Structures are given as C-alpha cells and as structure tokens.
Amino acid sequence: MARAHAAIAYRQPHVALGLSMPAGRKMAKAAKGSWAVLLLIITAVCAGAYVYQMNRAATKGYSLRELDRKLEVLQDQVMVLEDEAAKKQALRTIEEQVKGMGYVPVDRVDFVDVGSNAYAIAE
C-alpha cells in the first residue's frame, strides 16, 4: 500500500485527477473562447433590443398617422357644424322663423322703470 501511495505522490496533479492538461491551462484556453462567446451574446441582445424598439416605433407611427387622419376629419366636421350654427343663429334667420310662427315685429320699445312706484296694467 505504501507503494501505491508513493506512485500517486510522484505523478503530476492533473494526471492524478485524470485530466488531460493542467487546470490553469484549461481555464486560460476556456477564457479566450469565452470572451468571443460573450461578445456574440451581447451583440445578439443589442440587435434584438434594436429590432424591438424599431418595431414599437413603427407601430406607434402608424397609429399616430391614423389618429392625425381622424383629427383632420373631425376638424372638418367641426367647421361645417360651426358654419351651420352661425347661419341658424343669424338675426335674419331668427326673424324669418318668428314671422312663420305668427309673431309680428316690434316697432317701438318702451321700458318701465321698476324703481319708481309706477306699474303697467294691461286692459
């Protein structure tokens, strides 16, 4: 048994552990390749984020353009409705509608002073 122990003691540590090369060399070799893999992963993540942002911006652009079109249509409708309201509120139009209802125009207007003790009585 002492002989087996002596044989293990004189071998290199990586051979005793069953590794093909020392752990330090293996880690250095893996580190060289890991930087390239890490750089590729970061590039892929950035490209994915860029595509995502461009898609969101394009979608918002389309919806904004549609809302602008609706706004123009609504502004045109508002202008038409305001024109119609102005025509219907014109004094001539109101006078014509009143004449059609049987009312007569007022020629003379007198005002009653409410502050004095004068009263108007209709007989």
Per-residue pLDDT reduced to its tens digit, 3-38: 555 555 566 666 667 777 666 677 777 777 788 888
The per-residue pLDDT for 108 is 79
How many CB atoms within 10 Å of residue 19? 13
Q: Is position 31 within any domain?
A: yes
Q: In 3-state terms, what secondary structure has residue 114?
A: coil
Q: Is position 106 within any domain?
A: no
Q: Please tell me the distance from the alpha carbon of residue 7 to that of residue 17, in angstroms, as a whole number.
A: 13
Structural domain including 30 reads: 2-100
Q: In 3-state terms, what secondary structure has residue 14?
A: helix
Distance of CA 81 to the CA centre of its chain: 31
Q: Is position 105 within any domain?
A: no
Q: Is position 112 within any domain?
A: no
Report if pTM > 0.75.
no
Q: Is position 117 within any domain?
A: no
Structural domains of the chain, count: 1
Q: Is position 64 within any domain?
A: yes
Q: Is position 121 within any domain?
A: no
The per-residue pLDDT for 56 is 94
How many helices and strands in the chain, by DSSP H and E?
Answer: 4, 0
Instruction: Give the contacts of 67 (CB within 8 A, at least 6 positions apart).
Output: none
pLDDT in tens, 51-109: 999 999 999 999 999 999 999 999 999 999 999 988 888 877 888 888 888 787 777 77
Q: Is position 108 within any domain?
A: no
